[in-house]
């Protein structure tokens, strides 16, 4: 028997729009994920409506972003001056906007809800109950994981978020985890039912991120054609640890300079985000304090086609994050044939093949990162081998594969939800709710 397939789905992304430029503010890998999967779902004949918070009075209520994709801007709170830490107070207003949009359609307009991040999960939870359709949830990041490995100078996620995540994880019909590691975190830290978890690995746009001429890329970006270039791409905040890279590279920059070797330069691409907004010039000040300002170039966030040139210009891309549910930057860089040096955290152990497409570092000790950088940069032949391995490794990650797996998860959610609806009729809603509460307690306690 074939499983059901959604005709129209509601994607909920409260705190950041898929149309925003990744790399600054609250825009990052989640934006890329939502937009890339939405496009591919639409190409498969699934109508996609994305609900996100309006951040400008100029945001149209509904935008036809691409064939089969509508982005709905929901007014919830002031347009400017709010970040995601302020948004729990706006969830009621946002949910009301989502409910109004659905109420203008015929009954049964949406077949499924897919929420992204816990704020969206709270909205999706209520919409699920109101519309009578299944909820699929992707956390993207988890507070308990972040709090277990806080970066120096970063602030812990509040208990409010942990509780909110726990509620959504307990209520969602299916949970989508990026890796087996994240699936283990959902069960171990949040008591999720492993039978409701689908592991769906994110991908990269393999048509955009391809190998190319390093010389041409550097000429386009105005970078030194002869230097050894180590690149960081991402939001500038303690969680992403760009400061670890700068501190680790500083002694190498001086050593290579004194020895008359090919100079090492750093390229930092991104904008302040999260707690990094409190000190927007922190990395510039750090480079100056270490005496390497002349060896560090800063660029703002780049659109995808130009970002591909950033990767191609690089000899090595570093991803020193304290926590990553997957690590899209690592896969994008490798797809361009560039090896990656990354922290052995979260999904980076999947995104990077240690010893074949790059190198993983345990922990964030500066000396360990300096040693790893030195090892990779001092052996150009091995770096070239890793570059070829990087391209091969990245080839297995595509958004088409991600979309295939998402559609399978959606089908399971719809199938199980239909069974639950039949059970609701047979046993009555009160008994069904009691049964579900018992199952959630059982999954949390392991009894």
For residue 410, tell me if it sits in a domain: yes
Averaged pLDDT score across all residues of the chain: 91
Greater pLDDT, 217 or 4: 217
Is residue 128 annotated as involved in ligand binding?
no
Classify residue 326 by its DSSP letter. S
Q: Could you give the number of structural domains in the chain?
A: 2
For residue 299, tell me if it sits in a domain: yes
Q: Verify that 293 and 146 share a domain, yes or no.
A: no
pLDDT in tens, 141-179: 999 999 998 887 788 999 999 999 999 999 999 999 999
pTM: 0.90
Is residue 73 annotated as involved in ligand binding?
no
Q: Is the pLDDT of residue 441 over 60?
A: no
Is residue 382 annotated as involved in ligand binding?
no
Rounded distance between C-alpha atoms, residue 212 and residue 312, angstroms = 6
| pLDDT at site 155 | 87
pLDDT in tens, 78-116: 988 887 788 999 999 999 999 999 999 999 999 999 999
296: domain CATH number is 3.40.50.2000
Greater pLDDT, 115 or 25: 115
Is residue 332 annotated as involved in ligand binding?
yes
Is residue 396 annotated as involved in ligand binding?
no
Is residue 27 annotated as involved in ligand binding?
yes
Q: Verify that 313 and 230 share a domain, yes or no.
A: yes
Is residue 28 annotated as involved in ligand binding?
yes
Order of strands across the sheet with 316-319? Answer: 296-299, 264-269, 228-233, 316-319, 340-343, 358-361
Q: Verify that 123 and 39 share a domain, yes or no.
A: yes
Is residue 117 annotated as involved in ligand binding?
yes
Q: Is the pLDDT of residue 53 over 60?
A: yes
Is residue 31 annotated as involved in ligand binding?
yes
Is residue 21 annotated as involved in ligand binding?
yes
Q: Verify that 251 and 328 share a domain, yes or no.
A: yes
Q: Is the pLDDT of residue 445 over 50?
A: no
Q: Which domain holds residue 296?
A: 212-393
Is residue 240 annotated as involved in ligand binding?
yes
User: Which candidate, 412, 372, 419, 222, places its Cα nearest to that of 310?
Assistant: 222
Whether 323 contacts 346, CB under 8 Å = yes
Is residue 22 annotated as involved in ligand binding?
yes
Q: Verify that 41 and 157 share a domain, yes or no.
A: yes
Is residue 235 annotated as involved in ligand binding?
yes
Is residue 237 annotated as involved in ligand binding?
no
For residue 337, tell me if it sits in a domain: yes
Q: Verify that 222 and 367 share a domain, yes or no.
A: yes
Rounded distance between C-alpha atoms, residue 274 and residue 86, angstroms = 12
Rounded distance between C-alpha atoms, residue 81 and residue 85, angstroms = 11
Q: What confidence tier does 207 reach under pLDDT thresholds 50, 70, 90?
A: very high
Q: Verify that 269 and 160 share a domain, yes or no.
A: no
DSSP structure string for 40-103: HHHHTT-EEEEEEE--STT--SEEEEETTEEEEEE--S-SSS--TTTGGGGHHHHHHHHHHHHH
Q: Verify that 179 and 294 share a domain, yes or no.
A: no
For residue 207, tell me if it sits in a domain: no
For residue 447, tell me if it sits in a domain: no
Q: Verify that 226 and 356 share a domain, yes or no.
A: yes
Question: For the residues 333-348, what does the mean pLDDT come to?
Answer: 97
| pLDDT at site 447 | 37
Q: Verify that 82 and 197 share a domain, yes or no.
A: yes
Is residue 102 annotated as involved in ligand binding?
no
For residue 145, tell me if it sits in a domain: yes
For residue 365, tell me if it sits in a domain: yes
Is residue 314 annotated as involved in ligand binding?
yes
Q: Verify that 196 and 234 share a domain, yes or no.
A: no
Whether 321 contacts 278, CB under 8 Å = no
For residue 446, tell me if it sits in a domain: no
Whether 315 contacts 377, CB under 8 Å = yes
Q: Verify that 252 and 281 share a domain, yes or no.
A: yes
Rounded distance between C-alpha atoms, residue 372 and residue 360, angstroms = 9
Rounded distance between C-alpha atoms, residue 418 and residue 365, angstroms = 51
């Amino acid at each position: 028997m074939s499983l059901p397939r959604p005709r129209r789905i509601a994607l909920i992304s409260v705190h950041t729009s898929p149309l925003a430029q990744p790399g600054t503010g609250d825009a990052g890998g989640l934006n890329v994920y939502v937009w890339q999967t939405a496009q591919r779902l639409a190409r498969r004949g699934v109508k996609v409506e994305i609900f996100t918070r309006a951040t400008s009075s100029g945001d149209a209520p509904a935008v036809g972003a691409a064939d089969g994709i509508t982005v709905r801007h929901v007014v919830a709170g002031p347009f400017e001056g709010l970040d995601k830490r302020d948004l729990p107070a706006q969830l009621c207003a946002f949910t009301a906007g989502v409910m109004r949009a659905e109420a203008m359609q015929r009954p049964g307009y949406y077949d499924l809800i897919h929420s992204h991040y816990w704020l969206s999960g709270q909205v999706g939870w209520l919409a699920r109950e109101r519309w009578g359709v299944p909820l699929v949830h992707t956390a993207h990041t988890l507070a308990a994981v972040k709090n277990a490995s806080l970066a120096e100078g970063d602030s812990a996620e509040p208990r409010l978020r942990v509780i909110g995540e726990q509620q959504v994880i307990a209520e969602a019909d299916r949970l989508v985890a990026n890796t087996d590691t994240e699936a283990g975190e959902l069960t171990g830290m949040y008591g999720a039912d492993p039978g409701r978890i689908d592991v769906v690995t994110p991908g990269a746009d393999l048509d955009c991120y391809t190998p190319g001429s390093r010389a041409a890329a550097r000429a386009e970006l105005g970078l030194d054609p002869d230097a050894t270039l180590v690149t960081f791409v991402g939001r500038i905040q303690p969680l992403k640890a760009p400061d670890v890279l700068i501190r680790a590279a500083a002694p190498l920059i001086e050593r290579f300079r004194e020895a008359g070797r090919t100079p090492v330069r750093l390229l930092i691409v991104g904008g302040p985000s999260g707690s990094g907004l409190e000190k927007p010039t922190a990395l510039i000040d750090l480079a100056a304090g270490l005496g390497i300002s002349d060896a560090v170039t800063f660029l703002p966030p780049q659109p995808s086609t130009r970002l591909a040139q950033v990767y191609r210009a690089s000899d090595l891309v570093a991803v020193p994050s304290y926590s990553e549910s997957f690590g899209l930057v690592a896969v994008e860089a490798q797809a361009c044939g560039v090896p990656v040096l990354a922290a052995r955290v979260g999904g980076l152990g999947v995104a990077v093949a240690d010893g074949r497409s790059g190198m993983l570092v345990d922990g964030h000790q500066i000396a360990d990162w300096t040693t790893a950088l030195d090892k990779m940069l001092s052996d150009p032949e091995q770096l070239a081998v890793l570059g070829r391995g990087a391209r091969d490794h990245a080839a297995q990650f595509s958004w088409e594969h991600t979309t295939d797996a998402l559609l399978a998860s959606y089908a399971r959610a719809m199938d199980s939800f239909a069974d639950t609806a039949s059970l609701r009729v047979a046993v009555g809603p009160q008994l069904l709710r009691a049964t579900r509460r018992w199952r959630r307690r059982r999954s949390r306690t392991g009894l």
